[in-house]
Amino acid sequence: MTDPQLALASDIAIWAGLAVLALALISFSAHLAVTGAARQGRSDDTVPQPTALLVRTGTGTEGSTTFPDAAPTSAALEPPAVDHPAGVTRRWGVLGMQLTWLATFAVLAGTLMRGLSVQRWPLGNMYEFAIVAASFALVVFCTWSLKQDRLWLGPFVVLPVMVVLVAGKIWYTEASQLMPALDNTMWLTIHVTLATLSVALFVIGAALAVTYLLRDAAERKSRVRGWLAALPQAEKLEAMTYGMHIFAFPLWTFTLITGAIWAEVAWGRYWGWDPKEVWTFVIWVVYAAYLHSRATSSWTKRQATYVALTGMLCVIINYTVVNLLITGLHSYSGVA
């Protein structure tokens, strides 16, 4: 049995969340622009000028003024370590964060009502995968921002979440009951929840990876200008990228393991080289390669980060091409 009224309310809540996220994206983008300009301006203002030195002669005269020949040290030329050089720079970011919280509640409400409308965990088709993964990504970002200032990361998280929700609307499927192969509440809850949570963390990891590569390229050219000046230093961004993947990779490992166990329950074998199984393993291998390359001295951090982004590309292929174009035992996208 399905509840059409709850299903309709769920759809409205998701659309509302998407609209609020669009406003949050504008606010976060303004925050980056204003903060970057303020930091860049303060950096230019604080570049030390040659200091006049008073040199006294031995004749008791007044002396002369000279300027040292030495150029300022590179440390003196570094931008000041000021998170928000002007109070006004936080206004747009804080507004964006508040809007993101509001959108998070809307998307969570829509996801919950979708599950209540069909009286099951809402993970039976691609539309439901999309809204649950978006919910996880928003919750992780908002919770992370409670402890540390992550306003600069807002556009890089909100934009892909919006893309996921829009894609979900394109893949929209009417609320309905599960197909027989998925009708196992325990393994559906465990396996698919782990998968969507892992994907949400990989999305945030990819967002961090992009910010690192952009900032690192600017630092290499000594041209940290505009909104790039609002980002943390490249070294810190790379460390956060690595940390997010360290957390996400074990969850994807459990996704692979629980999927094999569920396959044995549903189809009588742990592994059958089904396209979905193969691509789940491919994703695991690519992210394992990223973690290995990150710990290998012969690889640069920049090169390793490109491997992480390759993993994100594999995730996208797995949840689009494999689900929509390749026929297999996991063909339950719900899209006609």
Q: What is the mean pLDDT of the chain?
A: 83
Q: Note whether residue 60 is domain-resident.
A: no
Q: Note whether residue 53 is domain-resident.
A: no
Q: Are 312 and 290 in contact (CB under 8 A)?
A: no
Task: Report in angstroms the alpha-carbon separations of 144 from 66, 148, 164, 328.
Answer: 53, 7, 20, 38
Q: Note whether residue 71 is domain-resident.
A: no
pLDDT for 308-318, tens place per residue?
Answer: 999 999 999 99
* Mean pLDDT, range 198-216, rounded to an integer: 96
Mind giving me the DSSP string for 130-162? HHHHHHHHHHHHHHHHHHS--GGGHHHHHHHHH
What local confidence, expressed as pLDDT, does residue 320 receive? 87
What local confidence, expressed as pLDDT, does residue 11 receive? 94
List, in sequence order, every residue forming a beta bridge with 64; answer none if it has no partner. Answer: 55
Instruction: Give first-to-last CA distance, the chain, whole Å.
Output: 22
Q: Note whether residue 160 is domain-resident.
A: yes
- 34: part of which helix (H) or strand (E)? helix 4-45
Phi, psi for 70 (deg, rounded to 5): -70, 140
Return d(Cα 328, Cα 3) in angstroms, integer.
Answer: 30
Q: Note whether residue 333 is domain-resident.
A: no
Of the listed ranges 149-153, 167-171, 267-271, the one predicted with least confidence: 267-271
* Mean pLDDT, range 315-328, rounded to an integer: 82
pLDDT for 219-230, tens place per residue?
Answer: 998 888 888 988
What local confidence, expressed as pLDDT, does residue 154 receive? 94
What local confidence, expressed as pLDDT, does residue 267 receive? 75
320, exposed or middle or buried, with CB in 10 Å at 0-12, 13-18, 19+? Answer: middle
Q: For 228-291, where are the E strands, in sequence order? A: none
232 closest CA partner among 217, 211, 252, 253 = 211
- The count of structural domains within the chain is 1
* Mean pLDDT, range 287-299, rounded to an integer: 93
| Residue 142 domain boundaries | 4-47+76-325
Q: Note whether residue 12 is domain-resident.
A: yes
Mind giving me the DSSP string for 176-233? -PPPGGG--HHHIIIIIHHHHHHHHHHHHHHHHHHHHHHHHHHHHTT---GGGGGSPP
pLDDT for 6-34, tens place per residue?
Answer: 989 999 999 999 999 999 999 999 999 99
Q: Note whether residue 17 is domain-resident.
A: yes
Task: Report in angstroms the alpha-carbon separations of 12 from 9, 18, 55, 106, 283.
Answer: 5, 10, 77, 9, 34
Task: Report in angstroms the alpha-carbon separations of 193 from 60, 83, 254, 265, 283.
Answer: 84, 36, 11, 18, 17
99 closest CA partner among 37, 162, 35 = 162
Q: Note whether residue 64 is domain-resident.
A: no
pLDDT above 90 as % of the chain: 53
Asked if pLDDT for residue 49 goes beyond 50, the answer is no
Q: Are 279 and 318 in contact (CB under 8 A)?
A: yes
* Mean pLDDT, range 242-252, rounded to an integer: 96
Return d(Cα 123, Cα 329) in angstroms, integer.
Answer: 16
Q: What letters, b where the CB count within 10 A reaches 16 and e where it falls short, cover 121-134?
A: bbbbbbbbbbbbbb
What local confidence, expressed as pLDDT, does residue 165 receive? 95
Task: Report in angstroms the alpha-carbon separations of 126 from 123, 131, 307, 328.
Answer: 8, 9, 26, 15
pTM here?
A: 0.81
